[in-house]
Amino acid sequence: MEVEKNDSALPEPDIQGLQIKHIERNRRKPNYSLAIASLLFLLPALLFYIVFELWPIIQTIWYSFYNWNGIDVSTFIGLQNYKTVFSDPELYGSIIHAFILIVPFSFIPIAIGLVMAALIKEIKSGAVSGFAQVCLFLPRVIPGAAAAVAWTWMLADQGTMNQILRGVGLGRFARAWLGQQDTALAAVGVIGFWLQLGFCIVLLLSGMGGIDQSLYEAASLDGAGWWRRLFSITIPGLRGQIGVCLTMTIVAALASFDVVFMSTQGGPGYATMVPGVEVYRLAFTQQSVGLASALAVALMVLVLLVVGPLQRLINGKRVD
């Protein structure tokens, strides 16, 4: 007599659970071949960074503790170079000038760039909008040294700026803008503003393309005007792009060299001296490599102290 088999009594295997366990087991297992391949791809860039970026920074910090002219035997003097940087009016004055340049290099271009980007975005013609972006971004493509030379001609006593002032009957305001101590730093700021404005406009325009247009439509239905939409929708939606603009333009102001060197070389007197030009002058003109290194390190630390908290504020994080 045959006994019928009861297949329903046997438990069915959990195929999905076994697959999940297999995947988790493979995840926990280190993939050495992938790690080695990734390291090999990363190695050229890492070596380049160490040789041309990290090692010069380490050397600069090392030199800052020595009195050295770049040729003879160096003498260890500890923190004396740093004391000189923050006690010599010419040296710490150059740092103050760099911070003053943050206003025309960073804050003003971003403020005007926001308004201009919002206006360009509302242009219905794509060709006109694209042409405006190209024209505004063009100064960013021009090297800073070339732009400084061109602006030096325009701001000269017989340059374009003074010719315009004389043509409209304001000749009494004409002057050698880069040759007088009371106007030279502001004139350098104008060059920096011209160089940074197009970059800010194009970057902010790209960010505006990612903002949900329904927010503008809803705000318009509620009666919000153009300025209200700018401050309530556009600016909060561009937090990341504004952070990038601030970082790039502030670094450009604090580390400015080409614009100042080609336009004024830090003059007249020390009216436009900035750390970049001062480091060059100390190292290659006065053979004070240790003091130049200390000023460069101090500038690097100040840039980090400014940009670091700024990034945390822009990203909405609490600054300790």
Q: Backbone dihedral region of 134: left (phi > 0), alpha (psi from -120 to 50 degrees) or beta?
A: alpha
Q: Do you find a cis peptide bond into 268, omega within 30 degrees of 0?
A: yes
Backbone angles phi, psi at 68, to 5 degrees: -145, 135
Distance CA 310, CA 237 (A): 17
Burial class (CB in 10 A: 0-12, 13-18, 19+), 79: exposed
Question: SS3 for 185-204, per residue?
Answer: HHHHHHHHHHHHHHHHHHHH
Per-residue pLDDT of the chain (320 residues; tens, 9 = 90+): 444 545 455 455 555 565 566 556 655 556 677 778 888 888 999 999 999 989 999 999 999 999 998 888 889 999 999 999 999 999 999 999 999 999 999 999 999 999 999 888 887 666 777 787 788 888 888 888 899 999 999 999 889 999 999 999 888 889 999 999 999 999 999 999 999 998 999 899 889 888 888 888 888 888 888 889 888 899 888 988 998 999 999 999 998 999 999 999 998 989 999 999 999 999 999 989 999 999 999 999 998 898 888 877 776 644 44
Count of alpha carbons within 13 angstroms of residue 106, beta-carbon side: 24
Residue 265's identity, in one-letter code, is Q
Burial class (CB in 10 A: 0-12, 13-18, 19+), 103: middle
Alpha helices (H) in the chain, listed in sequence order: 15-28, 32-49, 55-63, 80-85, 89-100, 102, 108-121, 126-141, 144-154, 160-167, 184-208, 213-221, 226-229, 235-237, 239-254, 258-263, 275-284, 289-314
Residue 317 is classified by DSSP as P
First to last CA, the chain: 85
Distance CA 123, CA 118 (A): 9
pTM score, whole prediction: 0.82
